[in-house]
Amino acid sequence: MTNPLMHFESFPEPPALILDYIAKRSAEDSVVGGPAPWDIGALPKELLDQMPAWLDSVCRWLNGRYAWQPQHVIPPCWTKHEGLGYEIAALAFARTDAYAAAGSTVVWHEQYDRFLTRMNKALGKAGDECRVGRHEGRPARFQLAAWPPRGVDGAAEPQLSERSGAMT
């Protein structure tokens, strides 16, 4: 008799460099004060370079195990949806921690369900196209373009009404 659980694949292991970083950061006498490894926007280049391939394998694993409905599929263009990258990184690291205790595992599955809700809310109708490989530009790009550019000092450029005097 064959074991029906033999085809279950293990969760993708983070890259060795990331695991080493986590170990150094977690050590009791650690002097490593860098960002959390799931904060992909703050990671140094050498760590960030390790993340795309691993996070892609995490997405493929999640899709293969959990995506029974079309709206559960993480789209292949997830890197073009910046918010998804942050969420996927946090979810992947949270899963690693969660599987240390059974109760935490249940909580992780609840987190995964909330991730799907947020992902679908963020993708909106564009998610259907993205999931079949037809990524379109960000729907809010026109509204985001209305934001004034930042000046050299980092402050927002004054609004038109401020530049030409208040028009009432």
Average pLDDT value for residue range 53-73: 96
Task: Categorize the per-residue pLDDT at 149 as very low, low, confident or very high, splitting at 50, 70 and 90.
Answer: confident
For residue 168, being part of any structural domain is answered with no
Query: Residue 112 pLDDT more than 90?
Result: yes
Whether 140 is covered by a domain: the verdict is: no
Domain count, the chain: 1
Report how far residue 114's alpha carbon sits from residue 122's, in angstroms, rounded to the nearest whole number.
12
- Domain presence at residue 146: no
Would 130 be classed as within a structural domain? yes
pLDDT at 165 over 50: no
> With a threshold of 0.75, does the pTM exceed it?
yes
Mean pLDDT of 53-75: 96
For the residues 76-98, what does the mean pLDDT come to?
Answer: 93
Mean pLDDT computed over 53-62: 97
Is 85 domain-assigned?
yes
Decide: residue 124, CB within 10 A, 0-12 exposed, 13-18 middle, 19+ buried: exposed
The boundaries of the domain holding residue 69 are 16-135
> What are the Cα distances from residue 143, in Å, to 98, 147, 148?
39, 8, 11
The DSSP secondary structure of 14-28, one letter per residue, reads: PPHHHHHHHHHHHST
Nearest in space to 17 (alpha carbons), one of 38, 44, 46: 46
The C-alpha atoms of residue 26 and residue 78 are separated, in whole angstroms, by: 29
If we measure between CA atoms, which residue out of 106, 102, 112, 52 comes closest to residue 82? 52
For residue 6, tell me if it sits in a domain.
no
Residue 166 covered by a domain? no
